[in-house]
Amino acid sequence: MRVESIIWDMTYACPLRCHHCYSESGRRPAVSRREDVLRIAEEIARVKPRGVALSGGEPLLAPGWEEAVQRLREAGLPVGLYTSGWIMDEALARRLADTFARVCVSVDGGRARTHDMIRGRVGSFERAMAALELLARERRERVARGEPCYALGVEMTVMRSNLAETELLVRELSGRFPGLGAIQLGMVVPSGLAAEEDFEERELLTNEEGQALLADEARLATLASHGVRVGVSDVRSFYVQGEPGAPRLLFAHLEPDGRLRAFETCEAKVGSVLEEPFEVLWERALAWRGEPFVVEQYASIRTMRDWARAARALDQRYGSAEDVARIARRTWRPKASGM
């Protein structure tokens, strides 16, 4: 079965401390080394998925990110970037325009206070807005000159704290940044820190809230200016066996040290592309998805809270000793530093 897309967490280095972070970035060693980054890029270029998305951590802090993206481009692969925008400046915006097919800035609230609380760092909203200003301007200028440039998007992770701000975010950002192409609203997925019991209690959407958000998509789309497209992600596609008829996810998820996750939202790893060919690991990942304990866990999911419980059970059973020890040390704090 062919992998559709590869999500590559290039590094765990990150200036932010988001409460919902699936990778716990910024709170653990960055891991990535330039020579490994380039070797992983070489392996992805050989495999030729339909697309590659760079995530993290902050991918722009990974050593060798630009060479890696150039290599993927040479292989004909469209590469997308997820960034918080914290380190953006004019020169970096120009470099992104020369390398990426798509750039997506994460914004988790229509108000600075909400975004900064969720993202765990005061000033992160203003930095994201400044990044969008630079990126949108760079795009407008390139398009005016008839030059290619990234498609620019915003992604909002929706949870209880910011559920009431979807409309504000769509209105404000679509009006403020001509050149922005799309705003994607995605319900928070219970994975990593967002699978913790405290987070589940305080922030995870209920099924009803998720359904209401999906039903609100068309209305939200009418509120956007400048032709900005608005979409709501149906996260049920992340279930392995849950909803009858839900698509089986064919994303492959690579960690900074080259290890392939058996499934996007789980700590289970099936080996590293630095040691074995991707195809061998991918077969192993697909086989993992059919293991009785995995099938039993996902088949039991009826609600978002069931999903969080299943995620915790799978992480405990299949995470490495290091993962399990890190999970045991976790704390969840609903305040941004300095607030």
Give me the least distance between CB of 9 and ligand SF4, in Å please. Answer: 8
Window contacting ligand SF4 (CB under 6 A); options: 17-25, 208-216, 231-239, 317-325:
17-25
The packing angle between helices 65-74 and 90-99, to 10°, is 20
Instruction: Look up tokens 């008839």; give the residue.
Output: 146
Q: What pairing do the DSSP bridges indicate for beta strands 259-261 and 251-254?
A: antiparallel
- Where in 141-200 is the site for ligand SF4 (CB under 6 A)? none
Q: Binding to ligand SF4 by residue 26, rule CB under 6 A?
A: yes
Given 3, 6, 7, 21, the residue binding ligand SF4 (CB under 6 A): 21
Backbone angles phi, psi at 278, to 5 degrees: -55, -40
Report the C-alpha gap between 37 and 298 in whole angstroms: 33
Provide the phi-psi class of 86: left if phi over 0, else alpha when psi is between -120 and 50, else beta.
alpha
> Helix (H, G, I), strand (E, B), or coil: what is residue 128?
helix
Q: Binding to ligand SF4 by residue 308, rule CB under 6 A?
A: no
Given 14, 44, 149, 194, the residue binding ligand SF4 (CB under 6 A): 14
Q: Binding to ligand SF4 by residue 110, rule CB under 6 A?
A: no
Give me the least distance between CB of 241 and ligand SF4, in Å please. Answer: 27
Q: Which is nearer to ligand SF4, 57 or 242 (CB)?
A: 57
Q: Binding to ligand SF4 by residue 18, rule CB under 6 A?
A: yes
Given 3, 7, 11, 25, the residue binding ligand SF4 (CB under 6 A): 25
Window contacting ligand SF4 (CB under 6 A); options: 18-26, 68-76, 305-313, 330-338:
18-26
Residue 16 burial (10 A CB sphere; 0-12, 13-18, 19+): buried
Give me the least distance between CB of 16 and ligand SF4, in Å please. Answer: 4
Q: What is the DSSP string of 132-183?
A: HHHHHHHHHHHHHTT----EEEEEEEE-GGGGGGHHHHHHHHHHH-BTB-EE
Which residues of this chain interact with ligand SF4, rule CB under 6 A? 14, 16-18, 21, 23, 25-26, 56-57, 84
